[in-house]
Amino acid sequence: MTESRIAAIDVGNDSLKAIFGKLEAELNIPNVIAQDIEDRPIIGIEELDKQDPTDGIHIRLHSPTLSDNNSIYRVGNLATKGNNPTELDPGSNKSEEDQTLVMLFAALALDAASDENKKNFKRSNNVIEATYTLGTGLPLREVKEGRDVGYRTQLLGSVHQVEFLVTPKYQGLKVNIKFEEVKVYPEGFAAFINLVMDDDLKVINKELIDKRILIQDIGGLSTDVAVIKDRKVDDDKAQGFNLGVSESLDAIREEIFSQYGVELDSRLDVVEIITKKNDRNHIMVRGSRTSVHDIVDRELLELAKKQYRHLRNVWQRNSQSEICYFIGGGSLILKDYLKTLNNNLDGFNIDFFEDEKESVWMMANAYYKLISDFASKNQKVKQRDEKLVKTK
């Protein structure tokens, strides 16, 4: 049995991205939860186990870290179909929200229960004992306020149980989650690591390593601007703002419903309309293809102007910066608007990631690189200590 399995998890405001083991498994789940009952009604119960577990996550959670312990939740895609789905609210602290923990534990339990992990974790009477070495992160603002310490401590200090209820393939399983180690990284530093280093933490972008760089990470609820100098984040100059894309996505969703009577299940549905390759900014209204371009433009241009003001203000305080990288899911949505504003106004040296997956998965990839490096070094220290004990 494996003692501990690596998990790198980015609980983003729109969706959770997770990488496990030796890059052999990953998860992407909408960050939506809904409180539920134990025996949720389901049509075709005999077909349940033919479905994808990620489309029917229905769990009970036991953890002293939760303010609402022993509650039952729908998570991800299933939650969007309920009557009371909740998404993170603007201004909330990720480190203090039950929703962050519900998403985190659900992802770990899904991985632990997979067939591939039967050889890794002990199973007895439908109970799985799973131990993880976790790499995750928090916004710079929360790390600067010291919230990462309490977040890490509450994860490390307890056993967290996820009980699968009416979930495809995993119904009746219980997963006891323990952490051998938890590393909570500031998101700006993680982004820098991902920019300049490969999976083995070897430098791949030598031209960036000693530059003064700004990294503007636009998320769902917040924006972090990391100032990179001398290969590390300048904590004094790094800034976090309670400004993300979620409010604009909610406004677009509400306006579409008001004008056309079309109800979108979640913010992720709005993102898909805005970013899809074909028929971008179009919806179906009573079977007819209908443009919502005017609604999208109005909301996103206003948000882009606010984001650009933050860029301008931070650059003025860090005038010797050489380039600003826009990352995160929000940067994909605002890219065209920010480029247009920049061309018409200050003309800063800015860049985006054309690979959409790379931009969205940047934090999870960075956490994976960092936690894998930590686990490797930690293993070497253990082996060395064991040899010393044997020689005595």
What are the pLDDT digits (tens) for 279-310?
A: 888 988 998 999 999 999 999 999 999 999 99
Q: Could you give the CA distance from residue 53 to residue 67 in angstroms, rounded to a whole number? A: 26
Q: Could you give the CA distance from residue 384 to residue 392 in angstroms, rounded to a whole number? A: 13
Q: Range with the lowest mean pLDDT among 92-101, 239-248, 259-268, 352-361?
A: 352-361
Q: What angle do CA 2, 6, 7 make, to 5 degrees?
A: 135
Q: Could you give the CA distance from residue 122 to residue 315 in angstroms, rounded to a whole number? A: 52
What are the pLDDT digits (tens) for 175-220?
A: 999 999 999 988 767 777 777 777 777 777 777 677 788 888 888 7
CATH superfamily of 5-188+364-386: ATPase, nucleotide binding domain (3.30.420.40)
Name the percent of the chain lying above pLDDT 90.
Answer: 42
Q: Where are the domains of the chain?
A: 5-188+364-386, 210-360
**pLDDT at residue 254 is higher than 90:** yes
Give the confidence band of 265 by pLDDT, cuts at 50, 70, 90.
Answer: confident
Beta strands in the chain (DSSP E): 5-11, 15-20, 25-30, 33-35, 57-62, 72-75, 122-124, 127-138, 160-164, 174-186, 213-218, 223-229, 232-233, 239-241, 282-285, 288-291, 323-327, 350-352
Q: Tokens 């229905």 sit at which residue?
A: 58
Q: How far is CA 87 from CA 97, 208, 213, 221, 267, in A?
A: 11, 36, 32, 10, 8
With 0-12 / 13-18 / 19 or more C-beta atoms within 10 angstroms meaning exposed / middle / buried, residue 179 is buried
Beta strands in 77-220 (DSSP E): 122-124, 127-138, 160-164, 174-186, 213-218
Same fold, 5-188+364-386 and 210-360: yes
What's the CATH class of domain 210-360? Answer: alpha beta
Give the confidence band of 376 by pLDDT, cuts at 50, 70, 90.
Answer: confident
What are the pLDDT digits (tens) for 45-66?
A: 556 777 889 999 999 999 999 9
**pLDDT at residue 331 is higher than 70:** yes
Q: At what angle do helices 267-275 and 329-344 cross, to 10 degrees?
A: 50
